[in-house]
Amino acid sequence: MTNSSKDLRKDVAMTLGVDATRSRLRRVIKWFIWLVVILAVVAGAYGFTREKSSNVRYETQPVTRGDLLVTVSATGTLAPVNTVDVGIEVSGTIKTVKVDYNDRVEVGQVLAELDPSKLQAQALQSSSALESAKAKLLQSQATVQEADAQMARLDEVRRLSDGKVPAKTEYDTQKASLARARADEASTKAVVAQAQATLDANKSDLTKAVVRSPINGVVLVRSVEPGQTVAAMFQSPILFTLAEDLSQMKLLVDVDEADVGQVREDQEATFSVDAYPDQTFSARTTQVRYGSQTVEGVVTYKAVLKVDNSSLALRPGMTATASLTVDKRENVVLVPNAVLRFAPPQTQPKQTAGSRSLLSAILPHPPRSEPTQREDLTAKSKEQRVWTVKDGQLTPILITKGLTDGKMTEVTAGAVEPGMELVTDMATTK
């Protein structure tokens, strides 16, 4: 019965074609497995060949020994050490102008003159008023003498008559007359003093009609011409601007608030001007002012630099770009700042053949991004790790940083020596 059942199933399977379908399916699966194995072998060989064909190239820069200057940059304007504005205190018409731009002048030298006719007339009028007041004073003094003599006579009569004459009314009247005469004399003296003061003022104005130089210097600005009328009612008009000595000048620079803490008096500096682009001038800091100024949200402080201009090549008003030396080191070990910015990429664990799935080895996948460089934890401190190449491998060296000028950094401690090559970058070549 059992054999007959098996035979019956075979007959049914043959009739339906089931055995042929299973056989075909097994062959397809077998060929698919072989195809997967071949593709995996090819992919592995390609990856191995690619890894073997790539090399790492390191870019390096040497450690050096030399001097390091730490500077602060600032811009400013050249100006004379002492500048004097020469004005005039009286009004009138300019008669003559005796100096021009760039003329050298001495103390007391005549620069310009006003037409003195009006001032002379005022002085003559004041002199006449003074003489009139003096004449009235003499008249008042004579009246006082007369009243005083009359008073003395009445006193004598009163003494001889034992007080009987003159009458009390006559005596009091004469006494009052003497007092009035003395008052008139005092008033006349005041008028004389006033007339004298007016005359002195007019004479002073007549003297001020001649404009003279108060210093030895050079004429920078001349703002007046002959025939021009000047009015000195409320404010003295400026006629000339004189510079005392152009062989010594000052440079006023604006120092940023972030750098002002490093700038001090008696520091060396250099600067250049557009008129002489290939020439550098020396200066020295003489003052750092506490007062600040804010321009477009930027806070700056004025620093004053002393400049030797014996050659007279520099002129007032020139714009200068200054470099203030705030610190310096001599004969120290230096490394380029690019060395401090380098950090090797993070190493990623390699996947073993067993850990990678067959599907991931066959199917395409997006390209992996380049490994990001690891930020050195000591980059912002005094200690930092730098890298050199030994036997083809990166080797770290711990150093202690000192001053920096933005390009080079001083090494105060660490196993680095001049001539040693330190890594600044790395690249992979095929």
State how far the Cα of 105 lies from the Cα of 231, in Å rounded to an integer: 25
* Coil, strand or helix at 20: helix
Q: How far is Cα of residue 429 from the mean position of the Cα atoms in its chain?
A: 48
> What pLDDT is recorded for position 390?
87
Local structure of residue 5 (DSSP, 8 states): H
Q: What is the pTM of this model?
A: 0.62
The dihedral through the CA atoms of 218, 222, 224, 225 has a sign that is: positive
From first to last of its 430 residues, what are the pLDDT tens digits of the chain? 455 555 555 554 555 454 556 667 777 777 778 787 787 777 666 555 554 445 778 888 999 999 998 899 999 999 999 999 999 999 999 999 999 999 999 999 999 999 999 999 999 999 999 999 999 999 999 999 999 999 999 999 988 888 888 888 998 999 999 999 999 999 999 999 999 999 999 999 999 999 999 999 999 999 999 999 999 877 889 999 999 889 999 999 999 999 999 999 999 999 999 999 999 999 999 999 999 999 889 999 999 999 999 999 999 999 999 999 998 889 999 999 998 998 888 754 444 444 444 445 445 555 554 444 444 444 456 889 999 988 878 889 999 998 888 889 999 988 889 999 998 888 766 5
- The set of long-range contacts for 347-356, using a CB threshold of 8 Å and a minimum separation of 24, is 347/371, 353/44
How big, in percent rounded to 5, are the helix, strand and coil portions of the chain?
A: 35, 40, 30
Q: How many CB atoms lie within 10 A of CB 133?
A: 19
How distant, in Å, are the alpha carbons of 5, 90, 195, 265, 290 from that of 248? 128, 34, 49, 18, 24
Structure tokens given for 84 = 């004097």
Are 120 and 206 a contacting pair, CB within 8 Å? Answer: yes
Return the closest-CA partner of residue 255 out of 219, 224, 295.
Answer: 295
Find where tokens 């077998």 sit: 30
